[in-house]
Structure 1
């Protein structure tokens, strides 16, 4: 028997070596998801509003990888979008249709499959789903929305820790720390790196308080939108910059400049150190004092009626500048993590995916926030770098959804997706392969009655047309020709010239609802659940 011992040992060594080589060759996965970032705020998307504002690390991903022009979400609101990401299922099947109801972590999510497939997994930053995260070897997450300054984090779903500093400087450092100290390097890694920014209330990092303060921006063409040509939903929303933003939370005033009433400001500012507050007041104090002199002089402020365009200009700029300031910090963080991977020699074996949980309004229609199926909030950035498969500077025209990210990540990891995942892997189209792909996407928003008063609606979008059904307390349809009306200013529903297209969209909508398992009966279940909570 001894003569067989050496060959057996050699074969065993070769088998183990092959296994290690296979693990070593599996790509790492860095999935970066911001909160409320929008395509209009990335120069590479060439949307026009921010032509002279660059975020070099985001642009680097576009230059060195692929930019997806038609990337969409299935439900444009934070927690439901994150649930779709993890499960690869629509909201009505994963159970998280709004920001209110709980998320079931016990269901199958892609990080669990990565763990089973030999990946070291970590979640750092914002998840906004409540409960104890599953599927991760390590997690360090913001509770709820989290705070910009001196935030608390929850370690592994149990231990609360407080840190001094700005969350957009802390989160990328935590990612690097995990890679440096805790990553089991015998395994490939898969990290969910989730910044808080640019979610409201846009409190910039100290070093960027003055960034863009002297920069002037043009209003979007439809900023002063009267909502003619559309139905009830666009008129009755409560997400207008001028009428619905808070003077404290959003505009950073200690009191309403026209009424003298205390503003919703104390909570976030109370977290700041004296040094942080001093830096803040050095920039915002003089600007606010100048505003008061111009718009609300002395005791006349209660009856003062400021020029509406001038007031809108101030509020638009205060909002947009603060939004871009926190995005600047996010871009720095991305650069920090990319540079670390580069110095370790593992960047090119890492799939880097950058996206956001939905798009956002930067003054289009006079709005901020998201929720609607209109383009600025339906669309979301998607930039992917992986030089082993993706040609630098690629542009992908096909329509992808956040529903597709979980199947794609599993595809790259060599893991078969579960049969009940509804998305499809975009790996082949990112690589430039001629692959069959969808011709339409389906959308459904549920959170009404709720913040910002955006009506419940669902709809279908093709490469050119969009059909939306607003329901619950209204029954209205809207339809848009995105080629002739990219701003979605005039619904063509019922226009005889579009009768055949309208019929086609109705048919396609019902096909998609059946394909994805949505129905009026399910709608009613979620309506009843919502009413029972109220």
Structure 2
């Protein structure tokens, strides 16, 4: 029986639904990491989401472990991906905000698996190579592929919709501007500028245009992953399939674009919320400018929401169908039982909650992402991992689970014991590191404390207030909780050397 999202989010610390099987000596399975971009927890049926329906992604958790409280350390693409890849916090790995690269000497998941004799590969968005021309995606060269030997389809940034491969040697003067479109459909209606991106000599042409059949980027990347999986090999593989969707622009190919009736999509309960914290109101005003409306009460906002959400759900449904293609390939090739599959996202998307879009604020939706792991015979099917854990913990957790060597300077924690049903000694926390260090905080299974340098700090009861509409920061009855969690946040930031300590040290707990 499927739980509702509210039941899932407000559930208490229930006993683990099943302990992991005795693991004994670590084996060397193949490892497939599926990473999506800006996918919210509520899109997944495994977490109580009704739409769009994600049976293939959900199957990873049904056949393995589902993490109830998995958080990204920073709710924006680059620093979040850096944490996942290195097991280190943003100020340590260097990619503290979008368009900044990883430090050149960082040790990544690619290095860890390559050093262990794995055949490594990556297809899709990387976003850890610094700034490039937004109209011309950089394909990552070998010297900057960070341990991913097969990096041919690894690109730095961009959310392209169409990809057309041309033959090697195709004349440049015949390969330009074969496809063009505006950044998103809203921009078309408002006369927005046109973006064009093409490439030749055996590399794809990309564009923001919605593609013809077989050219949609999600499907194309899936094709590349399947080609990699199907290769004959003597060594196990580690492969990252990094989908740029469902990040904006809000456009997707048919039949997904018209799969969800706009009129049937409900507004979030907080869409018209008033009296937001100052940082949230500032973000909402920025969103209003993007929407081209005068104020938050403009009736056109609801139509914009319905159009965006329909396309967003379509992108997720397309991803799920393509995840199904990859999982089917593993099964048909006899690799299913010998492959550890991981599904996660780099952050969520507010999609109208609190009248906001996108991410990178203190509200939970941007930080709390669906994460599942399946390893038949080694991780108990259907188990629910309750304690808080973060994407910065993924590298050390995989190292512990598989017996792999790390660089020894990781700041994340080894959570492999959680997959054996062992929670003793695990602290139920996940810390917030905002990209510009102006906000900090901590999640526990019960609370979220968000501290803001310029005002608007928040305390939310995650169990009693899953919509996050009752800010308890400053409430005398919760002063003890604020004091305790503030002290823990300061202790953590001091220990890891976060630049946020420049203002956290002077913070007076309520």
TM-score, length-normalised on structure 1? Answer: 0.74
Matched, 1:237 2:288: no
**Equivalent residue of 1:417, what SS?**
coil
Alignment of 1:384-423 (within 5 A): 384-423=373-412
Per-residue deviation, 1:231: 3.1
Per-residue deviation, 1:476: 4.5
Structure 1 pair 29–523 and aligned structure 2 pair: CA distance change class (3 A): farther
Partner residue of 1:370 out of 345, 359, 381? 359
CA contact (8 A) 1:35 1:195 kept: yes
Per-residue deviation, 1:143: 4.2
Partner residue of 1:174 out of 224, 236, 239? 224
- Describe the superposition over 1:112-157 as per-residue Cα deviations: whole angstroms up to 9, x where unpaired: 121111111001111112263120110112342141112689x9xx
CA contact (8 A) 1:24 1:187 kept: no
Cα-Cα RMSD: 2.9
Structure 1 pair 170–314 and aligned structure 2 pair: CA distance change class (3 A): same
Partner residue of 1:517 out of 494, 497, 500? 497
For 2:242, the equivalent position in structure 1 comes to 194
Could you say which structure has the higher helix fraction? 1
- Describe the superposition over 1:443-501 as per-residue Cα deviations: whole angstroms up to 9, x where unpaired: 111349xxxxxxx3111222222222212xx2453222223322222322222111222
Matched, 1:315 2:304: yes
- Describe the superposition over 1:338-390 as per-residue Cα deviations: whole angstroms up to 9, x where unpaired: 11111111111111000000111122111210101211011011011112222
Per-residue deviation, 1:422: 1.2
Structure 1 pair 119–498 and aligned structure 2 pair: CA distance change class (3 A): same
Per-residue deviation, 1:172: 0.7
For 2:13, the equivalent position in structure 1 comes to none
**Equivalent residue of 2:228, what SS?**
helix
Matched, 1:478 2:461: no
Per-residue deviation, 1:416: 2.9
For 1:135, the equivalent position in structure 2 comes to 147
- Describe the superposition over 1:382-436 as per-residue Cα deviations: whole angstroms up to 9, x where unpaired: 0111122222221111111000111122223321333210112222212323442
For 1:501, the equivalent position in structure 2 comes to 481
**Equivalent residue of 2:258, what SS?**
coil
Alignment of 1:431-510 (within 5 A): 431-447=420-436, 456-471=438-453, 474-510=454-490
TM-score, length-normalised on structure 2? Answer: 0.78
CA contact (8 A) 2:52 2:316 kept: no
**Equivalent residue of 1:468, what SS?**
strand
Alignment of 1:57-456 (within 5 A): 57-130=56-129, 132-139=144-151, 140-150=153-163, 161-162=203-204, 165-181=215-231, 185-213=233-261, 216-226=264-274, 228=275, 230-238=276-284, 243-246=288-291, 310-447=299-436, 456=438
**Equivalent residue of 1:197, what SS?**
strand
Per-residue deviation, 1:239: 6.6
CA contact (8 A) 1:86 1:406 kept: yes
For 1:269, the equivalent position in structure 2 comes to none
**Equivalent residue of 1:81, what SS?**
helix
Per-residue deviation, 1:200: 0.5
Following the alignment from structure 2 to structure 1, what is the Cα–Cα distance between the partners of residues 418 and 204?
43
What 5-or-longer segments of structure 2 have no aligned partner? 1-24, 130-139, 169-199, 206-213, 505-510
Following the alignment from structure 2 to structure 1, what is the Cα–Cα distance between the partners of residues 449 and 40?
22
Number of equivalent positions: 427
- Describe the superposition over 1:294-319 as per-residue Cα deviations: whole angstroms up to 9, x where unpaired: xxxxxxxxxxx999575233111101
Structure 1 pair 160–112 and aligned structure 2 pair: CA distance change class (3 A): farther
